[in-house]
Each structure stands twice: as C-alpha cells, then as structure tokens.
Amino acid sequence: MLKKMLFFMIVLFVINIIPVKAEEDLAPNSKSAILIETSTGKVLYEKNPDEKLPPASMTKVMSMLLIMEAIDEGRLKLTDEVEISPTAASMGGSQVFLQAGEKYPVEELLKGIAIASGNDAVVALAEKVAGSVEKFVEMMNEKAQKLGLLNTHFDNPHGLDSENHYTTAKDMSVMAKELVKHEKILEFTSIYEYYMPKPDGSTTWLVNTNKLVRFYDGVDGLKTGFTSTAKYCLTATAKKGNMRLITVVMGVESSDLRSGDTVKLLNYGFNSFELQTILKADKSLGKVKVINGKKQQIEVYLKEDATHLLNKTSVNPNEKYQYTLKINEVKAPLKKGDVVGKAQIKNSSNEVIKEVDIIVLENVQKANIFDYFKKNLKLITSGL
C-alpha cells in the first residue's frame, strides 16, 4: 500500500512539472473527457464529449445538487434528522453502513455522500427530499431537462449500473458547474478523511474516494465513480487564484490512470489560461430609482464577477474593456437577489464578451399610504 501511494505521488509530481500543449491528447486513457472554466463556462478541451456512457457514482453530482437546492430554498436544513429506511440500509455498493431505524443529521449524510460515496446515504436523503426514491429520480430528470442536458437520463440517485442510466462528459461538466455554485458542498467534498459519528456513540471512518483532494493543490471536489461497466470515472474541480476548473474523465481502466488524466487536464488549464476580472460583484454600480418603494433609490450590483478568460500565450496587455448597463423598470416590492437588469461587457474591438445579471442586495417593501403622505409632506415643507 505504501509503495503504491509513493508511486502515485511521484506520478503526480512528474505530471505537475511537465507543460502540455492543446493539440496533445490530454486524456489518453479516457473514453471521454472535458475541461471547462466555471465562471465563463468556456470549454478548454474535449474528447468525445457527447458520447453516452454510464456515470457510476458521478450520478451523485446531480443528487447533491438537488439536495443543496433544497437546503438553500429552506425545504431542508443541515440539522434536520433523517430516519434511515430499510430501503436505504439495504443498499449495496459503496456505503457508510447505515442501519434501518437510525437517525442522522442531514449534514452527516451529506458527508457520507461527498466523502465516501455512500449509496445508503444518498438514498436516505433522496427519500427525505422527495418522499421516495422514484420521486427524487423524477426530479433528477426534470433538472437535467432544465439544464439542457439532452444526452442524460437517470434511473437512480446513486449510479449503480442500469440500462437507461447514462450521461456524457459535457453534461456532467454542466451539472458540476451548477453544483459548485453551492459553495457549502465543497466544504464536504474537500475532506480527505472523517470519522462519522453513529447514534450508538461509535464512529465510521470515511476516506475520500477522490485522492486528488490530498495530492493535488487546489482540488476540493467533486465525485468519483466506478462500476465494472462504467470503469473508473471522475468529475474533479480545482481552484487556483480566482480561476476554478472542472474536469470530467470517463471509462478509464484504473484509478491511477483516472487521476493521471485528470491531473494532465488541470495542469493544461492552469498553465495555459488566466482569468481577468473586469468588474467585481462587490462594487456598487450606482443607484437606480425604485417605483412605489419605501426607499426611492437602491444600489445595484453584478450578480457575479465579470471575467474574461485569456490564453496566456496571446494576452494583450493593452486590452481595454467597456461596459453598458441595461436596467429594467425597478418596482417594489424587491427582495435581495432580484435581477433588475444586465451589464454588457465589450472589448476594444467592440465585441460582447460577457453579459452578467444586475441584482439588488437588500429588500425594499412597497410603499403604503403613510409613506406617500410623508413624502408629500416633505416636498411641501422643503418648498416653504
């Protein structure tokens, strides 16, 4: 085991110091692969990206996405207790050894999915979110349709082989891009080992199935997969500086080759590209008028940083950007996060390189009769 680990570390070190060119096969051991940058969604490399393949436990990227959406929308809390059903406890494959009748907080079950790929944990949370596994799978397929994933279909929330259960590297990258927007999940997927507390006071030792979390600087997720049909798969994400990359490799013959292809993709991305921030999301774009609001004006912001992905070999140091704001009619009531327009970013050639939603960061209630009375009184007194 120690020799294998040392060999794995040496392989990663060697791959880390060798720059690669775009025209090379960056994933020679993978049936299908893709590399994207998350803030722009730009594809930096792809190989058979639309080939339908079994995803194995990478399926849990979609499952975790639905769970995180339920948490963010208030339908589920990390502290909520989940009673383990006989169905969840009977799951085979990778598991965290849950027993029927036991109760666990949502957070512990999420860790069981994110770290150890527990099939029992994901079934327990699927039942909690949707009421049944069948309903949860319906939600998974509905979400796939909303994301425009035309080459994806799910039969279950865990990824055990099924004839009508498939996706593609490209579709997986879209799911992963959505999942990493929920930054809380990265706190779990980045854990290398964890002792999961059990109701009887004992613990279960969980070790991350994604070894790159430990061996590659910047990797903080996302999900491995393996079945005899799917072979070894991995959806990985890493962040260095302000740039986050996502890679997907599918149909690899061993876990070491899977890691090797992933590292090669990540190295290419980080060595060859840089992300330039044009406008930051925390900078006010100014104030806009609010119609029928208790407040007459409100500051607006970008929903996310406006960025531009540049190839390091062709960076123009004199590149200048300009932006225009397109604000809709802003009416109360407003709630934090409401979109009120778009910012359009253009380069020096007048090409649109980015459009970002403009949002408000505070709630504004609708004005009532007393607010109008005070407003009119102020106008009268100010004119005296």
**Is residue 158 a contact partner of residue 119, using CB atoms and an 8 Å limit?**
yes
Task: For residue 238, give every residue at least 6 positions away whose Cβ sits within 8 Å of its Cβ, in sequence order, or none.
Answer: 212, 216, 217, 218, 219, 220, 244, 245, 266, 270
Residue 11: pLDDT band (50, 70, 90) is very low
Q: 30, 63, 85, 117: which is the annotated catalytic residue?
A: 117
Instruction: Say what the pTM is.
Output: 0.86
Question: Does the annotation count 117 as an active-site position?
Answer: yes
Question: Does the annotation count 60 as an active-site position?
Answer: yes
Q: 30, 32, 57, 190: which is the annotated catalytic residue?
A: 57
Question: Does the annotation count 284 as an active-site position?
Answer: no
All structural domains of the chain, each given as residue ranges with its CATH number in brackets, are 7-273 (3.40.710.10), 280-369 (2.60.410.10)
pLDDT in tens, 21-74: 456 899 999 999 999 999 999 999 999 999 999 999 999 999 999 999 999 999
CA 295/CA 315 separation, integer angstroms: 44
CA 34/CA 168 separation, integer angstroms: 10
Q: 30, 31, 39, 60: which is the annotated catalytic residue?
A: 60
| Residue 247: closest CA among 259, 265, 224 | 265
pLDDT of residue 2: 34
pLDDT in tens, 222-251: 999 999 999 999 999 999 999 999 999 999
